[in-house]
Amino acid sequence: MKQLTYVTGNKYKIELAKRILTPLGFEILQKKIACPEIQDDDIENVSKYSAKYAAELLKVPVIKNDSGLVVEALNGFPGPYTSYIEDTITEDGILKLMAGERNRNAHFLEVISYCEPGCEPISFVSKTKGYISANKRGEYGWSFDKIFIPCGQDKTLAQYEDDERWEFWSNDAYLNLKNYLEKQDIIKK
């Protein structure tokens, strides 16, 4: 079984990676390290930079995730600054910015970057579409789950327990990573 190190402190990201990659012969190892996070308006650039840093530091192939909430009416804000906004103005601040706004369309953009030591990172993207609710609802999840309603639903993510909530997230990035690894003959089909 080949090992792939996922640089994250988020146990839910590890669970999702294991669901998709373990059946293909990968042992997913979790490593939490402090990676520099560049200031950039593009989530993919942030993810790639961190993945390259981690691969060089750890001297093993890694995957690194970066994600952000993208709100149409706010011109893509908070985007790559989602973590900072979560810690400062929180979902209450986003709701204030959205007061009276009719266009509530939003999506979570998740970028997974794969990098081997000495190589350039390759990125894979997932987009989970939805919209911003008018108020906070729910007791589960974290971050903006209390104000994000996935497409086709009428409840916020925070109104679903962990086992239910994951079915709403796009897995495209993980599936495309799997396809890439298969094509590179890094894993057996």
Active site residues: 66
Prior bond to 78 cis, omega within 30? yes
Residue 88 exposed, middle or buried by CB count within 10 Å (0-12, 13-18, 19+): exposed
Q: How far apart are CA 90 and CA 184, in angstroms?
A: 41
Contact 49, 111 (CB under 8 A): no
Q: Any idea what DSSP says for residue 55?
A: H
- Kind and range of the H or E element at 91? helix 90-97
Q: How far apart are CA 116 and CA 120, in angstroms?
A: 7
Residue 10: Cβ within 10 Å count: 14
Q: Any idea what DSSP says for residue 9?
A: S
